[in-house]
Amino acid sequence: MDTIQNNSGQKNLGQKNITKRTGIKKPMSAELMSADMHLSVPGVQTAEVSPDLDECIRLCWQARHTVQRTLVEHCLSKGGKYVGPTHVQSMLDCMDICQAAADFMTRGSPLHTSVCAAAANVADACADSCESMQPNDATADGEMQRCADICRACAIACRDMAQQGAAIEDLHIDRPPTLAEEFPSIPT
C-alpha cells in the first residue's frame, strides 16, 4: 500500500512512513474508510489533502472502530476490570476524539491540528489503559494488545499532524484568531 491512486489522481505515499514507525499495516475495510472520504462543504474551500493527512484520518477511523469493537465484543463479555469505569471512560473518550479528529481533518478545519494534539494524548491514555488489562501471568490478551497498538499508531500520526500544524503556524500562515485575540476585552 505504498502508492494508491485515489479518484482525483493523487498518490498516497504516506502509508509507508507511518507504517514503518507504527507497524500498523492492515487497511480498514472499504465500508469504514475509502481513499476519497472527503466531505465537500458548500462555501468552505479545503486544501489539497496530503498523504500524511489521509493516513492520519485512516488511523483515527481505524482506532475508533477497533476501540469500539474491543469494548463491545471483548471487554463487556469479559467483565470485571475490563468494564471498570476508568477503563471504559478511556475507551469512550478515545472513540469520540478519534472521530472528531478524523472529522476535523476530513473537512479541512484549520483547527484540526489542535484536535489532533488532544487525540494523540487521549489515544495514548487509552493504549495505556488497554495494556493495563493484561493478565499478571504469562498469558497475553491479544484483543487488548491489538487495541493498544492501533491507539499508539493513531497517537503517533496525530502527534505528527499536530506538529506539522505548529510548523505551519511558525511560518505565520493565516490562521483563525484565538478567542483572546478576537475578544481582547474579555478576561481569560
Summarize pLDDT for 77-136 with one digit per residue, the tens: 999 999 999 999 999 999 999 999 999 999 888 899 999 999 999 999 999 999 999 876
Among candidate residues 20, 90, 33, the one with its CA nearest the CA of residue 59: 33
- Per-residue pLDDT at 8 exceeds 80: no
Specify the 3-state DSSP secondary structure of 7.
coil
Q: What is the percent of the chain with per-residue pLDDT over 70, rounded to a whole number?
A: 60
Residue 168: is it exposed, middle or buried by C-beta count within 10 angstroms (0-12/13-18/19+)? middle
Q: What is the mean pLDDT of residues 155-159?
A: 96
Rounded to whole angstroms, what are the CA distances from 174 to 129, 141, 170, 171? Answer: 38, 47, 10, 9
Summarize pLDDT for 19-31 with one digit per residue, the tens: 455 555 444 443 3
C-alpha cell at 160: 505528527
Rounded to whole angstroms, what are the CA distances from 9 to 49, 131, 138? Answer: 12, 40, 49
Q: Binning pLDDT at 50, 70 and 90, where does residue 33 land?
A: very low
C-alpha cell at 53: 493527512
C-alpha cell at 33: 474508510
Q: Which residue has the higher pLDDT, 51 or 12?
A: 51
Domains and CATH numbers, the chain: 50-172 (1.20.1270.360)
pLDDT reported for residue 30: 35
Rounded CA-CA distance 143/119 in Å is 21
Number of residues in the chain: 188
Among candidate residues 63, 145, 53, 131, the one with its CA nearest the CA of residue 98: 63
pLDDT reported for residue 25: 47
Among candidate residues 88, 35, 99, 92, the one with its CA nearest the CA of residue 62: 99
Q: Residue 81 carries which DSSP code?
A: G
pLDDT reported for residue 5: 38
Q: Which residue has the higher pLDDT, 54 or 136?
A: 54
Rounded CA-CA distance 91/99 in Å is 12
